[in-house]
Amino acid sequence: MERLPGFRDFYPEPLPHTDVWSAAARQYIFAKWREIARRYNFCEYDGPPLEPLELFTTKSGDEIIGQLYNFTDKGGRQIALRPEMTPTLARMAAAHERQYKKPFKWFAIPQLFRYERQQKGRLREHFQFNADIIGESEPAADAELIALLIDTLCSFGLTRADFIIRLSSRNAWQQFFEAKGTAPEKAPASAAYEFFQVIDKLERVPAEETGKKLGALGFSLAEVNQFIESGHPTPELENIVQNLAARGLRDFVKIDYRVIRGLAYYTGVVFEAFDCQGEFRAIAGGGRYDNLVKLMSGGKVDLPALGFGMGDVVLLELLRARKLLPAFDSGLDVFILIEDEKFRPASLKLVQDLRSAGAAVEYSLMPAKPDKQFKRAQELKASFTAKMENHSTVRVRNLKSREEQVLAPAEIGRILHH
Ligand code: HAM
């Protein structure tokens, strides 16, 4: 039986094949995400992996709708596997916002599903670190979120030489769009949406095709390019840049109006994180979506919001390419050697006591030759081996320093922590 295309098996280290993913690397990434979220006082939430289809058809945009895994459940409901977290967050925030002091800062690590064409950095399932701030419309919140994004990437050992945050604003594009007027036969909102879609694909679609599409909307490619090159920051962007400069993070961002984001719900500042060598697709993307909570609550709750999502797939590929993934050891503290089977009961008691004291302990389940047991201890990179010498003493060996001590079983805990 084969797994589905675009889905991953996560195996324990050492990995059996280049075609599989590391469960240890995944855990390493999740732990860092949680650690940096904690430093910024973001609280963890989660929602269901299955949602009513309608949640995503309302405002995610055509691209994501085309990629939905959806079906009718046994109760006749229209269901979709979540392709992104933001609509769920908007629903959850609207339902209980009164119980939380504004602004609230929440994060989640959902697994998301999109029926995309499989390619480098693009699978049909990925995990995504989502960090969002609800209830603050000032640029101070955007800066806080972008600082979190920068620090998260830096926590993996990436530096300014490895990545850049491209900062943009739909407000700037909206003004540009309105100043030029629009194709008269189209409703302004849908024309603006179409225009944003063309800008979103500037870097992926041939110039000729883009020129045609822009022409139909009343624009020329030249004037669009000129606007991008001018790169003049809007007041909100200027404010964010100053805020980041005060933290010493100015160099990590650049104004780049080529970024506009594909999802339909963004309303203002938008940004994406890219590797500097341009080898990969965006590592992360996000922005403001000040109308989504209102939309999801049928107009009952109106809260400004912003956030970003960072996928595990691109991040892992980038860390691997820059050789920034650590070696994943078992983290074993003690391997108990049972060379004489008559000491097995006493050894099992020692295993139990050490585990109760919090140590990671391994031993041979079945009788085995001493050299085999020792080899296993080395393979597992155990810090110590311990062997009952008689019923009241244990010989403990530090595998790094090779120092040996003979101790009473109760004394071992003491040396483990040195
Ligand atoms: P997104 O740009 O669709 O944004 O996804 C964010 C990141 O998730 C991408 O930059 C990419 O690294 C990763 N990603 C997306 N799709 C795939 C895929 N098929 N395979 C592997 N990685 C993928 C959102 O989803 C927004 N909801 C983020 C957000 C949160 N905006 C505000 N709050």
pLDDT at 120: 87
Task: Please tell me whether residues 229 and 377 are part of one structural domain.
Answer: no
Same domain, 298 and 209: yes
133 occurs within a structural domain: yes
Q: What is the pLDDT of residue 187?
A: 66
pLDDT at position 293 over 80: yes
Structurally, how many domains does the chain consist of?
2
Q: For 57-73, what is each residue's pLDDT tens digit? A: 987 777 788 899 999 99
Is residue 399 located within the same domain as residue 354?
A: yes
**Ligand 1 pocket, mutate which of 88, 89, 128, 266 (most atoms under 8 A from CB):** 128
Centroid of ligand 1 to alpha carbon of 85 (angstroms): 9
Work out whether strand 384-388 and strand 125-134 pair parallel, antiparallel, or are unpaired.
Answer: unpaired
**In whole angstroms, what is the distance from residue 203 CA to residue 188 CA?**
25
> Could you tell me the distance, in angstroms and rounded to a whole number, from the CA of residue 104 to the centre of ligand 1?
22
Q: Are residues 87 and 152 in the same domain?
A: yes
What is the dihedral sign for C-alpha 51, 52, 56, 62?
A: positive
Of 145, 414, 417, 168, the closest CA to residue 306 belongs to 145
4 in any annotated domain: no
- Ligand 1 atom nearest to CA at 310: 7
Predicted pLDDT at 213:
92
Same domain flag for 257 and 345: no
CA of residue 112 to ligand 1 center, whole Å: 9
The answer to whether position 298 is within a domain reads yes
pLDDT of 307 over the 70 cut = yes
pLDDT in tens, 126-145: 999 999 999 999 999 999 99
Residue ranges making up the domain that contains 373: 334-416
The CATH number of the domain holding residue 397 is: 3.40.50.800
Residue closest by Cα to atom 30 of ligand 1: 308
Q: Give the three-state DSSP class for 69.
A: coil
Residue 28 shares a structural domain with residue 98: yes
Question: Dihedral, CA atoms, 67, 69, 75, 76, nearest 10 degrees?
Answer: 40
Q: How far is the CA of 309 from the centre of ligand 1 (A)?
A: 5
Which atom of ligand 1 sits closest to the CA of residue 116? 19
Residue whose CA lies nearest to ligand 1 atom number 17 = 122
CA–CA gap between residue 410 and residue 413 (Å, rounded): 7
32-36, 115-119, 285-289: lowest mean pLDDT where? 115-119
Residue 168 maps to which CATH number? 3.30.930.10
Task: Identify whether 3 is part of a domain.
Answer: no
Residue pair 134/102 in contact by the 8 Å Cβ criterion:
yes
Any domain includes 157: yes
Mean model confidence pLDDT for the chain: 94
The answer to whether residues 273 and 143 belong to one domain is: yes
